[in-house]
Structures are given as structure tokens and as C-alpha cells.
Amino acid sequence: MTDGERASLGDPFFELVLARGRFPGTTAELLAVLNESNGAPEGLPEQMVFVVAEAGQIPFNEANSRLPRSVRYVVTRGRSANGPTVLVSTRPPATDPTAFLQVAGWDSRNKVFHFYERAGDAWLWEGSSWHAFDDAARGKGPFDSHVNGTLVMKELRLPWLHWNSTAQEIPLESFPPDHPVRTDPLFAARQSADILERRVVRPAVQRWTRARLDRLLGAPGGIAAPRELLRHLLAATSVNIVSSEERSRGSKPEFGLPATFFFDVESIVNQLALDITGLGQAFQVRRPDYESAVAALGLVLKRSDAGFQQAGDAFFAWPVSERAFEDCVVVGELTRRGILSPGFALGLLMVDAWNPTDSAARESLLQYVPAGTTPAGQIEAETRRNINIAAAGLPPEAPERIAADYLTLDEAAMRTRAAAELDAFVAKVRARLATSQGVLDFMRVADWRRRDFRKRKIAEFGLTLPFSNIDENAPPLAVTRDAEVVER
Amino acid sequence: MALQRFDPPGFLDDFGPAQRDAWHQFISDALNSAQEGSGDPFDSPRAQFFNAAKVEAGPNPAFEDVKWTAFPRIVQISSGSDMERWRSADASRDVQDEYCEWSVTRQSGTNKITRVTFTCEGPEYWRFLAATDPTQTLALYKQHVDASATQADLFTPSGAYILRNRFNNSTSNGAMHLVQRNNTLGAEIEIAGAATVTRLRADGSPMVDTLELIRCGRYGAEQRHSDPFIGARVNFHARSKADVTVANPVGIYFGGLDTQEWETPDGSDPAAFWKYTRGSPERPVRAVIEVPSDRNYVLGDVLIDGRAIQFGGQIADRIQMTIRALATRIGQSTAQPVRGCVGDGAGAAGGPGGPLSVGAVLSAGDTRGRL
């Protein structure tokens, strides 16, 4: 590390620990070093512990005794007024010098996260948030999962699939009698994942997104790589995992599927404020249809290396990828700052809106975004112009034509049309979900998106999502505007 | 030594000595009832629940602040978007069922929010206060809700307190205490008591699923954040062979407001707008958020996650609620798990999940005479 790099590290982990010549070898030692500063103005006395375990809802027994429980902790430290600024990712026991030990620290001076990892007796600085976009570091080290340079909580929303939460505790009974969590004070202090979501991860994503845009928009001459920014609108730079609130082995005769499985509710409705109501009850399935589909696809949780296999869905029903919150926040910020008009963003999101996480059609529009440095105020205009030029002479189903047709409308007309199209789509989905074949078709789509998820580097644990009897390399599936499921 | 006296929620000082004694007895009785259980053979008695005024807590008890989000889960899971759920939650106190209710004040003309009041005070306290000191009750309404409140607004001609009076029955005209039907201190105590029963499934494996426990024990409302989670945490301690109770002062409390990613027009700290107006600093039971009058903007001009505050529910998203559980004699309980659920036993005495005696005590209407 150069002196310049050292000088650029202004996060509290560096300042309270490494800069003081302390190189803790375990989580317990790290927390003890932080505790030494608790009484100081710069101290971080508030600690919270969150626990995630893919096998956390699988009761321990002799038959599954070889199954790793894959339990990890996120320990946060902060001062109450400012929220957590140091996040420790590790596994139990806290005294184990061989356990992985990673730290993310928010540097309020430079407005970046710094990422660190202990390697043997040393600590490595693995980069800052900006390295996520640096060609030399992109996809490497911490940036294989922190692809946008900020915190990641894959299962961000209720019911927080594998986290200890108000929706479902991770019980001690899931662990072998000699497992370290049974006596670990950190595990005993675990809090609900809703706190991690609300108090830690969402604010962190928003904080970093604003800092990133502040810097990008402040650059002389304009934004250096507009496509990097609009990728958040037109592609899925990452995904989150969401599921039904209902347990897969629950008893409700009918239950709801996550709305974000069907379209990008977070960007379109929450960020861009398209007025669509009634979504909460729109996507109901009857349990017999759901269970038939689970059986037909042979859903199974498995971990072959541990000889573990359990028939059925995950603990909560219908786990599936959704558009990443970090992408949606960028969309919201770009429109709020006037870089993109809400109508422009909405018009492009409506291209193949029925495939929120994996639309080649929508992503193909990236080619019309200026490639080089462009003044922020011209990005939308140039993209509009490029799309309009490309659309001429193309058939109506071409993404360019669909986008161009939308972009000719003023915002009010566009909102009316988008709402009408989505209302019609939701009605068709609802009709299909009322049939067993429709439920099976949509579960095939969910399965495809799970297979697609497993290709991403954030898919680190085999038990995250169920497998099916469909070949992992089977052709991808798409949903049409008529709510039909087709091969691409 | 056992606890000498249960304090009023949040160490409130509305009571005189006789009222304080009566309140202590009231809580103690409620805890006794919760310890006895419903009479159902799969629910009673609850050997791992105890009344700290009768049984000493013992050395080195462990305290846990069980926390949950104030925004109602039932609204969250039945809504498809943020706007939809905020609008729904702000529409009626009857859906604000996480032991936190609120009322929103808006600016005439602009309809912008100027103030939101949050309360987590149980109705039992207010019924008791109103029955024993109507003058103080009216004074508190005047102080905290509306200076124009009158005796006739709060009491029937025969002197009975109107729980859902005009200053406490909506999301726009004030909130003095909880009125949603499940938001009671009695419910909190009953959940804590009922959840101490450890259970086995039919196959002999321990029952650990949050929903399975609440259904089997028939305590609380399973669609909430709060009840299943309180039950799960209490049951966790019980499975650790601890004795468990609700710590003094028994009550529901605000656990804090998170103002990260809030933006004010003048850059000031929005956390300074949040004030606790009843209860002790550590055990607050009432909170108000509003922008000081010397600023040239109002609460509705403040942004949360880039969106202006249009609903109280946006703030409730950021509020933590909490109760404090006390676990002691960890690993020492000899109580055996129950193999069966409430209501499973034919001819069981008592109704499973029925109203707790706290409600019965108050509904008897004899509190005035007892002082």
C-alpha cells in the first residue's frame, strides 16, 4: 500500500484499529480492540449482530450431521446517531483464528466504503467502493459480490429467506450439540434481519449511491461512462432474493407470490411513482397448485458434497431473484437529480417489463446510450435520438420501436399507458395463476431465474435456492406481455 | 429478594401513592394469571414463567430487549408498493397493530404533514387513570393532544371513560394511547407467559418454528412482526431451561428512530425533531416529531430516501418497538416440554387463547372503588 493510499483511508476500522498498529487475529480480538475506544468521541460502542445460515431451518439429526450449517455473522459497530459504520463479516466461533474475517468501513471523509480482509497474520486492504468499477479490480476479491461497491444483503426483504428475523428465528436446534453457536455470546445476541435491512443495508446503498453520483456528476466535461450508469436502468447488475411470506410447508390454502417476480415494482412503482394499486393481493396461488408444481419440477434442497438432499422448496415458498435494490436506487437518484426524466426512465423500463431481471431486449438498448464522456444534461437527449433513429423501419416488436413509441408520449400520457399495460398484464397473470398449469408455468420461470442466479458470483451457497429436475443448461424462459411462458 | 413494587410503564408519574399500589397489584395479578395459564392441559400451568414480585429473579439475570419494527406487517404483506402500504397504514388506527399507533397533523391548504404523534401506552393504564382521576386524565389530554379537550369529549354522562374518544380514535385527530384491539398490555403479558411453554411435535422433535409455536400455543396474532417474534424469543429462553418474565416496568416502549438517509431543507439533523414526551428517557412511551416553528419548512418537506414525508407510516418504517424480557436460572428449569397444542385436550378446562384476566379486572369497572 502506498502512503497515498494509506492517507486515503478514513474509515473508522482503519483509524481505530490498523492505524494504531493493531492487527487482530480473530473476531473476538477485533471487537475487543474496538471496545477500547468505546468511551472516546470516535468510538463505536453500539454493536448489533445478525445471523444468516442456509441450513438454519434444517433441524439437526444424525442423517444430516455432515451438512455444513453455513452460518455467518454480520457484526455492526457504530454510534447510534450515525448508524453503523463498521461491518464485520465472519463465522463462529469468534475466537477461531482460521475463520474468514472481512470488514467494510464507511469513510465519511472520502464517502466510500473500504474493504478489508484478514489473511493469516496480516490485514489486506482490498480496495474502496470505486474499485468495483475499475477494470483491474472489477469482479475480483470483494467486488465479485459487491459489484456496485456497496453493502450486499442478498435476501434483503421480508421474510429474509435465510436470516434470523422476526419472520423466523434460526434456532439452536438446527446445530449439532457441539456447534460453537450453542455457547457463543454473539449468536445469543442476534437481532432480526429487518434491523439489518432498515438500519444498515438500505441506508448504506443509498449513501454510497449519492456519493457516487455526486462525484460522477461533478466531473468536468460530463459523465465519463454514461453506459455504466444506465446499466442500472436497462440491465440487472446484480439481483436480490425474495420469496413469499408463506412457508413452503405451511397451511394457508392460498398465499401470495412476490410482486417483484412479475415486474420491477421497486423502480416503476416505488421509485417512479407509477400509480398502480391492488398489487398486494394480485398474485395469489392455491396451495394445491403450488404443491403440484413443486412435485412436478421435483424441487429439492441439496448439497451433494455433504450427501444432503431434502425434497421440496426452500423454507419460505417461491424463492426467486428480483431486481437488485442497488439498481433501483440508482434509477431513483438519476431521476430525482434530473439526469433522467421520470418519463424517460419509465418508458425504457416498460420495454419487456414482464422480464425484470433478465431482458435481453431491454439491455440491448444500452448500445444507444452515449459511450464516451457526455455532459449529464445530454445523456437522455442523445439516447432518445439514437433510439429514434434506430427504430425507423424496425418491426413493432423490436425493443427500439417499443421504446421509441413510449418516448414520443408526454409523461402524463406515458404514465397512463404504462399503468394500463401493467394493469392488463397483472390481470392476465392473475388469471393464469388461477390455473394449475399457469402456476406450473410460472414456477418454471422461477426455476430458470434460479438457474440464472447460480451463474452469478454472489451465488456462493448451494442451499440458497432449490434445484429442480430441469437441466441446469436448459434454454432460458421468458414471460410475454400476455403472461404466457415461452422459450427464448 | 423479590421485587418490591411494579412501576407504572415508563416510570410515569401520573399516579398518587394509592394508584401506584393498585397498579402494582394489577400487574402482579396479571403476571399471576399469565403464570397460571388458561387451564388447558397443554397450556397450564406455565412453570417457567414467574412473577418477579413473588419469586426472586435470582442472581445475574439476563435481559433481552426484544425489538421489532413499528410499521404493521399485516399491511406490508397485503400491499404491493410502498405508497399503497403507507396509505393503508395511515388510514385507520385499527390496522396499526404493532403496539404503536400514530396520528398525523397536516397544514391546512398545502396538506403537508407538520407533526406526527406516536404512542405505545396500553389502554389499561388509561382506563385505570380515567377511572381514578378524571381531572388528571383531562389535563393530560389537554397537554398532549388538544388544549380544547373537555370532560364531555372523554367521558360519558355517567362518567365512564371513552377509550375511542374523538381525540383518540383516528389517525388525524390525536393519539393518546393504544386503541387497536390487540394492542394491550394484557396481550404482551399473556404472550410472554404462554410462550414459556416448550413444546414437542408429534414425532418428539422440539417445536422451534415461530409460526408453529404461536399457532400451537394460541397466543397473539401471527400476522404481526411483534407477537410471533416476542413469543419466539421467550420460547428460546424457555428452551434454554430458563425462567422468564417481563422486566419491570412492564410495558411496551419505543426503541428508537433511525434518521439515516433523511434530508432536511436546511441540512439540520432530523433526529433533533424527534422528542419523547412521556416516559423516562430509557423507557419512552410517547413520541412526537415536528420541525421547530422557527424553520421555514415543515415535516412534509423532509425527505426520507429521497421521498417527501407524506405519511406517518414512512416514519413508522424507521421506528423500533421493544419489550424487555428477563431470563434467569438459565439451564436450571426442570419443566418438561409439552407434547400437544392448546385445545388438543378433550374437555380441557378454560378456553384456549381467551382474554387475559387483566382485561377482566378492568372490565369489571371496580377500580374506582378499590382506591
Cis? peptide before A342, omega within 30° of 0: no
Residue B97 has which C-alpha cell?
397493530
Closest CA to A86 of A110, A61, A65, A103: A103
Q: Which residues of chain A fall short of a pLDDT of 50?
A: none
Q: Residue A260: helix, strand or coil by DSSP?
A: helix
Contact of A50 with A198, CB cutoff 8 Å: no
What pLDDT is recorded for position A168? 95
Amino acid B254 reads F
DSSP secondary structure string for all residues of A389-444: HHHTT--TTSHHHHHHHHHTS-HHHHHHHHHHHHHHHHHHHHHHHTSHHHHHHHHH
Q: Residue B23: helix, strand or coil by DSSP?
A: helix
Contact B258 A280 (CB under 8 A): no
pLDDT at B371 over 70: no
* Local confidence band at B151 (pLDDT 50, 70, 90 cut-offs): very high
CA of A273 vs chain B CAs: smallest distance (Å) = 8
Alpha helices (runs of H) in chain B, residue ranges in sequence order = 17-36, 73-77, 82-89, 123-132, 134-144, 151-154, 185-194, 210-217, 226-239, 312-316, 357-363, 367-370
Contact B81 A270 (CB under 8 A): yes
Contact B228 A166 (CB under 8 A): yes
- B→A contacts (Cβ < 8 Å), by residue, are 67-69, 73, 76-85, 205-206, 208-211, 225-226, 228-229, 232-233, 236, 239-240, 256, 258, 260-261, 269, 271, 305-306, 317-318, 320
Contact A169 B80 (CB under 8 A): no
- State how far the Cα of B155 lies from the Cα of B152, in Å rounded to an integer: 5
pLDDT at B73 over 70: yes
- Compute φ and ψ for B320, nearest 5 degrees: -100, 135
CA count, 13 A, side-chain hemisphere, B270: 22
> Which of A192, A260, A334 should be substituted to probe chain B, the one whose Cβ sees the most B Cβ atoms within 10 Å?
A192
Strands B303-304 and B262-263: antiparallel
Average pLDDT over residues B204-230: 94
Q: Nearest residue on chain B to A60, judged by CA atoms?
A: B205
- A→B contacts (Cβ < 8 Å), by residue, are 59, 80-83, 158, 166-169, 171-174, 191-192, 194-195, 198-199, 202-203, 206-207, 245, 247, 250, 256, 259, 265, 269-270, 273, 275-282, 332-333, 336
* Local confidence band at B1 (pLDDT 50, 70, 90 cut-offs): confident
- State how far the Cα of A186 lies from the Cα of A184, in Å rounded to an integer: 5
What pLDDT is recorded for position B248? 97
Question: ∠B8-B11-B17 over CA atoms, to 5°?
Answer: 60
Closest CA to A419 of A276, A283, A277: A276
High-pLDDT (> 90) share of chain B, %: 87
pLDDT digits (tens, 9 = 90+) for B233-273: 999 999 999 999 999 999 999 999 999 989 999 999 999 99
Contact of B244 with B262, CB cutoff 8 Å: no
ipTM over 0.85: yes
Provide, as residue numbers in chain A, all residues whose Cβ is less than 8 Å from the Cβ of B320.
Answer: 195
Question: ∠A72-A75-A80 over CA atoms, to 5°?
Answer: 155
Measure Cα distances from B258 to B10, B101, B143 in Å.
Answer: 21, 17, 27
Contact B206 A169 (CB under 8 A): no
Residue B25 has which C-alpha cell?
397489584
Residue B63 has which C-alpha cell?
435481559
CA of A416 vs chain B CAs: smallest distance (Å) = 18
pLDDT at B350 over 50: no
Contact of A132 with A146, CB cutoff 8 Å: yes
Contact of A84 with A197, CB cutoff 8 Å: no
For cell 397489584, the residue is B25
What pLDDT is recorded for position A193? 96
Interacting residues of B171 by C-beta distance below 8 A, sequence separation 6+ = B90, B91, B92, B93, B96, B102, B103, B104, B312
Other CB atoms within 10 A of residue A220 CB:
5
Of B70-84, B140-154, B350-364, which one has max mean pLDDT?
Answer: B140-154
For cell 362518567, the residue is B159
- State how far the Cα of B223 lies from the Cα of B225, in Å rounded to an integer: 7
Using the 8-state DSSP alphabet, how is residue A300 labeled? Answer: E
Provide, as residue numbers in chain B, all residues whose Cβ is less than 8 Å from the Cβ of A325.
Answer: none
Strands B319-328 and B62-69: antiparallel
What pLDDT is recorded for position B361? 37
> Which of B79, B81, B205, B322 should be substituted to probe chain A, the one whose Cβ sees the most A Cβ atoms within 10 Å?
B81
Contact B260 A82 (CB under 8 A): yes
Contact of A236 with A324, CB cutoff 8 Å: yes
What pLDDT is recorded for position A81? 61
pLDDT digits (tens, 9 = 90+) for B89-127: 999 999 999 999 999 999 999 999 999 999 999 999 999
- State how far the Cα of A166 lies from the Cα of B229, in Å rounded to an integer: 5
Q: What is the CA radius of gyration of chain B?
A: 21
For cell 474475517, the residue is A101
* Local confidence band at B362 (pLDDT 50, 70, 90 cut-offs): low
Domains of chain B by residue range: 9-362
CA of A403 vs chain B CAs: smallest distance (Å) = 25
Provide, as residue numbers in chain B, all residues whose Cβ is less than 8 Å from the Cβ of A59.
Answer: 205, 208
CA count, 13 A, side-chain hemisphere, A206: 21
Contact A192 B260 (CB under 8 A): no
For cell 411462458, the residue is A485
- State how far the Cα of A209 lies from the Cα of A335, in Å rounded to an integer: 13
- State how far the Cα of A92 lies from the Cα of A148, in Å rounded to an integer: 28
Contact of B302 with B289, CB cutoff 8 Å: no
* Residue A387 host element (H or E): helix A376-391
- State how far the Cα of A232 lies from the Cα of A223, in Å rounded to an integer: 15
Instruction: Tell me how many residue pairs between chain A and chain B have CB atoms under 8 A apart.
Output: 109
Nearest-10 crossing angle of helices A342-349, A376-391: 40
Residue A211 has which C-alpha cell?
456519493
Dihedral of the alpha carbons of A456, A461, A465, A468, in degrees to the nearest 10: 90
Contact of B214 with B228, CB cutoff 8 Å: yes
